Amino acid sequence: MIKSTNRRNFLKASAAIALTSGANIAIAATGDTVQEHYEIRTYKVTNPTKKTILDRYLENALIPALSRIGIDRIGVFTNRDDVEDHSVYMLIPYSKIETFVGITPALEADKAYQDAAKEYYSEPLEDPIYSRINSKLFKAFSGMPTLGVPKQSTSKAPRIFELRTYEGHNEEKSALKIEMFNIGEIQVMQQAGLAPVFFGQAIIGDDVPNLTYMLSATDQEDHQSHWDAFRVHEGWLKIKDLPRYKGSISNITSTFLVPTSYSQL
């Protein structure tokens, strides 16, 4: 938790940014918008044949069942750069945390889901579809409380996604980096064309404390041009070297993903 003195410093820094950056930076207003939660679920698969079975399960059984309980904007992706890794990544948004908690009993009571999932559940112990499922839970930032659907996803146009994780060496430093995003870095990314999909603070998962976010673009060249625009953006130049945020990141990881044919993102 950020100390009260730090909170006062945050307000002073925010006011300074707002006064010096004009229309290029706006302090995020939390308002009454409920911050969503996001699950990133990774099915660890090394066999392309098993991935095909998993794809059928996700497309025909799990995603329709999730839709029946009110979940939409579900992203399903594969690793763009590792041809040996056939793992499948799911991004599932929850407008209410109770929905996340209630998924298992909802699926158990859904006959249509059970019928559609028979092939998936019939795989034998000796030859499973995946080695494990890794799951992480995040809470959306106040600066972007709900998940955004890229324009390319709406039209099913070619697109790529970058999933970035920033680790902090303690909880306070990680919270300060989240604060930095909320006071203006998110808006700069949007203005630079990086097309953020979500920003989330890790609640459950490994490598905590961390924050994770996802960006989108048509292709790698398009994405790089947006990063170039971000790095020279007036708003970013005003906040990137503020002493308050120095040392707030201890490690960065980045993974490039491509959507499956049935992904809603």
* Domains of the chain (ranges, CATH numbers): 9-30+141-260 (3.30.70.100), 36-137 (3.30.70.100)
Predicted pLDDT of residue 27: 32
Predicted pLDDT of residue 100: 96
Predicted pLDDT of residue 1: 41
- For 157-191, what is each residue's pLDDT tens digit? 999 999 999 999 999 999 999 999 999 999 999 99
| pLDDT band with cut points at 50, 70 and 90 for residue 17 | very low
Residue 31 has pLDDT above 70, yes or no: no
Residue where the block lists tokens 């009454």? 32
Predicted pLDDT of residue 83: 80
Residue 205 has pLDDT above 90, yes or no: yes
Lowest mean pLDDT among 3-12, 99-108, 177-186: 3-12
pTM, full prediction: 0.88
| pLDDT band with cut points at 50, 70 and 90 for residue 32 | low
